[in-house]
Chain A
Amino acid sequence: MTQEETERFYKALRDTNLSAIEALIEEHIEKQVSPVVILNEGLIGAMGIIGQEFKAGQVWVPEVLLSARNMHRGIDLLKPQLLKNHVPSRGKFLIGTVKGDIHDIGKNLVTMMITGAGYEVIDLGVDVSKERFLEVITKDHPHIVGLSALLTTTMLEMKEVIRTIRQTFPKTPKIIIGGAPVTQKFADEIGADGYGEDAVRAVELSNRLLSDNASR
């Protein structure tokens, strides 16, 4: 896909009207562009640009929410084609806000960005117990687990979740944490494999952890 084509996807992701992305996806399917290319170079490529703009402070949360909404619509339209082609995901990512915490905007932003980066995401929602995390890890074997907390109270719950997971799974999955009160220092103290300051950094961190894993 040319840079101009990716640029068209970028514009469609930022359009307040859903029909822009719908028309663009249909146009590419009709032209028989591979759904893998539409996904990776179109949608994910364009979302990557928006992510970088967000990180650089050029766009704000409403723009990210809008492009995530549009991207989800695009993926829905592509799904039948993708299933036919059996596109492998980049990795499996389990995410949830820890027990006692019902805040989800930060978690949702990470979910959107991670989905946009080509991961298969299992979103457990808010107020998730450590037992529930363990149960899903045992069943679905995610590569990465993301824990979110907005409150200083519930931030301490992350430590418990990590302890519980590590008793059964000493090395993998990788566990990363984030949320307003969280710092790198805190992540190190509780034995997390990483800390993402914002949604884009969470994606970068996940990519890095997976490539570290693969190169080992």
Chain B
Amino acid sequence: MKMEMKPLSTPKRRFLSGLFGGRKGDRISVANPTSIISVELMEKTGIFFPEAHLDPEKMAELAAAGHEILGFDTIMPEFSVQQEAEGLGCLVDWGSPTMMPDAKTHPAKEANDIQIPENLLDKPSMNVVLKALEILRKSYGDHVGIIGKVMGPWTLSYHLAGVQDFLLWTLTDSDKVRRFLDRLKEVAIAFAKAQLQAGADVVVIADHATGDLVSPKTYQDFLLPVHQEMNQRIGGPTILHLCGNCSDRLRLFVEAGFDAYHFEWQVDAKKAVQVVNHEMSLIGNISNKEVLFGGTPEGVYRQARYSIEAGVDILAPECAIPLQTPLANLKAIVEAAKEGYSPMSC
């Protein structure tokens, strides 16, 4: 008897299935836990930075271009890492079409200096994300994966205290580091819950205790218990974004209870799949520096095929792409995915 044809998978089905390590379907999903906005994409839509960081309609429309123009299975409207920083009192320079926003001031030297306003989620730089998610849910929520994003307490501490001081405190004043994380995790939890309620299928928690800056032990001592609590209290699906070479701490991320980990090219996909052992999904890991920004569509294709064959669950650029990344290189990720699990040519 002839087998019945499976219905073609849709972007949303593909993405959700990959997120939870489920049925493989016809091909791997391509997603963007971090920004895929480029200058070329801004030119094509006529919507530019910095307006798109602060206007919900523009934010939603520019974000949707990642699906409409590039063919990604997801839409993720938070492009910068500074949305919360302004809400928490940092002076933010919102940048330009070729420059991502940056916090200019770091107002907290003690945990008591951290001011969390009662109406934090109404602060314009944060509310814009919730509004954009609501717009996207209405227009795309039925068939495209909608991804939210919040900064974790480690990243928020960088914004509020400055990277150098905060890192030094991990050695000289560990209690202060814990007090910072303890206060700031509440911001991440509240914002993540609000994003899920606004229509996100999953929330990325970006927490830059990166493999290039701190040791696995630092993650284990300071962040692991905080991330475990956050995952419990947020309740909905979460993706950890934490860059650098984290090959030596993948099991800790599993232990933290994330549904997926968004990882870099520096982490070998084959080894990652082996170590993580399907206890958490892996999303990644096309190199920004070598191929997306600095390479060719052929280079992107080769890396993408390597990651697919290694068994990653969802294909994605490793991190927020450089703004000058050529569109052709981004499209090459989707093209490589469309060849399915067994490529036509490789």
Could you tell me which A residues sit within 8 Å of B by CB distance? 16, 59-63, 65-66, 69, 100, 102, 105, 108, 151-153, 180-181, 183, 185-186
For the complex, what is the distance from the CA of A183 to the CA of B293, rounded to whole Å? 12
Write out the residue numbers on chain B whose beta carbons fall within 8 Å of the beta carbon of A62: 167-168, 170-171, 213-214, 218
Complex: chain B residue closest to A109, CB-CB = B164
Could you tell me which B residues sit within 8 Å of A by CB distance? 98-100, 102, 104, 163-164, 167-168, 170-172, 212-215, 218, 289-290, 293-294, 322-324
Nearest Cβ on chain B to A119's Cβ, whole angstroms: 21
Nearest Cβ on chain A to B249's Cβ, whole angstroms: 12
Complex: chain B residue closest to A65, CB-CB = B168
Q: A108-B164, A153-B98 are in contact. Are A60 and B213 (CB under 8 A)?
A: yes
Nearest Cβ on chain A to B188's Cβ, whole angstroms: 22
Write out the residue numbers on chain A whose beta carbons fall within 8 Å of the beta carbon of B163: 105
**With A60-B215, A61-B167, A108-B164 already in contact, 19 other A-B pairs whose C-beta atoms are closer than 8 Å:** A16-B171, A16-B172, A59-B215, A60-B214, A61-B213, A62-B213, A62-B218, A100-B99, A102-B102, A105-B163, A105-B164, A151-B100, A152-B293, A153-B322, A153-B324, A183-B290, A183-B294, A185-B294, A186-B294
Nearest Cβ on chain B to A111's Cβ, whole angstroms: 12
Nearest Cβ on chain A to B240's Cβ, whole angstroms: 19
Write out the residue numbers on chain B whose beta carbons fall within 8 Å of the beta carbon of A153: 98-99, 322-324
Write out the residue numbers on chain B whose beta carbons fall within 8 Å of the beta carbon of A69: 168
Checking B99, B102, B171, B294 against A63 with a beta-carbon cut-off of 8 angstroms, the contacting residue is B171
Nearest Cβ on chain B to A55's Cβ, whole angstroms: 12
Name the 10 nearest CB pairs between A and B, nearest first: A152-B322, A62-B167, A61-B213, A60-B215, A16-B172, A65-B168, A153-B98, A62-B170, A62-B171, A66-B171
For the complex, what is the distance from the CA of A123 to the CA of B50, rounded to whole Å? 31
For the complex, what is the distance from the CA of A152 to the CA of B294, rounded to whole Å? 10
Write out the residue numbers on chain A whose beta carbons fall within 8 Å of the beta carbon of B293: 152, 181
For the complex, what is the distance from the CA of A180 to the CA of B293, rounded to whole Å? 13
For the complex, what is the distance from the CA of A151 to the CA of B102, rounded to whole Å? 12
Complex: chain A residue closest to B321, CB-CB = A152
For the complex, what is the distance from the CA of A108 to the CA of B162, rounded to whole Å? 13
For the complex, what is the distance from the CA of A108 to the CA of B168, rounded to whole Å? 13
For the complex, what is the distance from the CA of A16 to the CA of B99, rounded to whole Å? 37
18 examples of A-B residue contacts, CB within 8 angstroms: A16-B172, A59-B215, A60-B213, A61-B212, A61-B213, A61-B214, A62-B171, A62-B218, A65-B164, A100-B99, A108-B164, A151-B99, A151-B100, A151-B322, A152-B322, A152-B323, A180-B289, A183-B290
Write out the residue numbers on chain B whose beta carbons fall within 8 Å of the beta carbon of A66: 168, 171-172
Complex: chain B residue closest to A100, CB-CB = B99
Write out the residue numbers on chain B whose beta carbons fall within 8 Å of the beta carbon of A185: 294
Complex: chain A residue closest to B168, CB-CB = A65
Complex: chain B residue closest to A180, CB-CB = B289
For the complex, what is the distance from the CA of A181 to the CA of B291, rounded to whole Å? 12
For the complex, what is the distance from the CA of A186 to the CA of B98, rounded to whole Å? 19
Write out the residue numbers on chain A whose beta carbons fall within 8 Å of the beta carbon of B213: 60-62
For the complex, what is the distance from the CA of A60 to the CA of B102, rounded to whole Å? 24
For the complex, what is the distance from the CA of A62 to the CA of B169, rounded to whole Å? 8
For the complex, what is the distance from the CA of A186 to the CA of B293, rounded to whole Å? 12
For the complex, what is the distance from the CA of A152 to the CA of B98, rounded to whole Å? 9
Complex: chain B residue closest to A66, CB-CB = B171
Write out the residue numbers on chain A whose beta carbons fall within 8 Å of the beta carbon of B322: 151-153, 181
Nearest Cβ on chain B to A20's Cβ, whole angstroms: 12
For the complex, what is the distance from the CA of A63 to the CA of B168, rounded to whole Å? 8
For the complex, what is the distance from the CA of A33 to the CA of B172, rounded to whole Å? 30
Complex: chain B residue closest to A103, CB-CB = B102
For the complex, what is the distance from the CA of A164 to the CA of B262, rounded to whole Å? 41
Q: A16-B172, A152-B293, A152-B323 are in contact. Are A60 and B218 (CB under 8 A)?
A: yes
Checking A16, A100, A152 against B324 with a beta-carbon cut-off of 8 angstroms, the contacting residue is A152
For the complex, what is the distance from the CA of A16 to the CA of B218, rounded to whole Å? 16
For the complex, what is the distance from the CA of A69 to the CA of B104, rounded to whole Å? 23
For the complex, what is the distance from the CA of A66 to the CA of B323, rounded to whole Å? 34
Complex: chain A residue closest to B166, CB-CB = A62
Write out the residue numbers on chain A whose beta carbons fall within 8 Å of the beta carbon of B172: 16, 66
Write out the residue numbers on chain B whose beta carbons fall within 8 Å of the beta carbon of A102: 102, 104
Nearest Cβ on chain B to A209's Cβ, whole angstroms: 24
For the complex, what is the distance from the CA of A105 to the CA of B289, rounded to whole Å? 19
Write out the residue numbers on chain A whose beta carbons fall within 8 Å of the beta carbon of B104: 102
Write out the residue numbers on chain A whose beta carbons fall within 8 Å of the beta carbon of B98: 153
Q: Which of B168, B218, B324 has the most CB of A within 10 A?
A: B168
Nearest Cβ on chain A to B30's Cβ, whole angstroms: 22
Write out the residue numbers on chain A whose beta carbons fall within 8 Å of the beta carbon of B290: 183
For the complex, what is the distance from the CA of A181 to the CA of B151, rounded to whole Å? 22
Write out the residue numbers on chain B whose beta carbons fall within 8 Å of the beta carbon of A181: 289, 293, 322
Checking A59, A61, A151, A183 against B289 with a beta-carbon cut-off of 8 angstroms, the contacting residue is A183
